Amino acid sequence: MNNELLNNVLLTYVFYVLVATIGISLYGVIFKPHLTKKIISITIFSDSINLLAIFIGYKLYSIPPELKGMSNINEVLNRTVDPLPQALVLTAIVIGLAVTLFLIFISLQLFRLHGTLDLRKIKELRE
């Protein structure tokens, strides 16, 4: 069946694209010495990990998990997506936001004390 094969190929392609984005952002976190670039890469990393978690709970030809206006609960039960990863990702987004805001403030304080945000120059200054 051509239809089903094409759907499976496209979904697998989306999955590999997400994993590639995770890899690129990990490269940015580890190998770029400027602190602002590291913070940008951390935001991309947490976004793509949250998207991967919701992508695992997806189902073809489905409806969002809502009960308003649906009179038959069996139809909702058979065709809904998984609501549990959405609840966990909601928590994860808020916690990531709070920790990243704190990181931004700490790097601002680092700039006031050392005059630069390049980690190699800070390492030379402290020796």
Please give the backbone phi and psi of residue 123, each rounded to the nearest 5 degrees, phi first.
-65, -35
The least distance separating other proteins from the CB of residue 75, rounded to whole angstroms, comes to 11
The reply on whether position 8 binds other proteins by CB under 8 A is yes
Site for other proteins in 36-65 (CB under 8 A): 36-37, 39-41, 43-44, 47-48, 50-51, 54-65
Q: Which of residues 1, 49, 71, 80 is near other proteins by CB under 8 A? A: 80
C-alpha span between 17 and 114 (Å, rounded): 39
Q: Supply the DSSP string of 52-103, one letter for each residue.
A: HHHHHT--TT-B-S--TT---HHHHHHHBPPSHHHHHHHHHHHHHHHHHHHH
The reply on whether position 124 binds other proteins by CB under 8 A is no
Nearer to other proteins, 3 or 127 (CB): 3
The reply on whether position 31 binds other proteins by CB under 8 A is yes
The least distance separating other proteins from the CB of residue 123, rounded to whole angstroms, comes to 13
Bridge partners of residue 80, in order along the sequence: 63
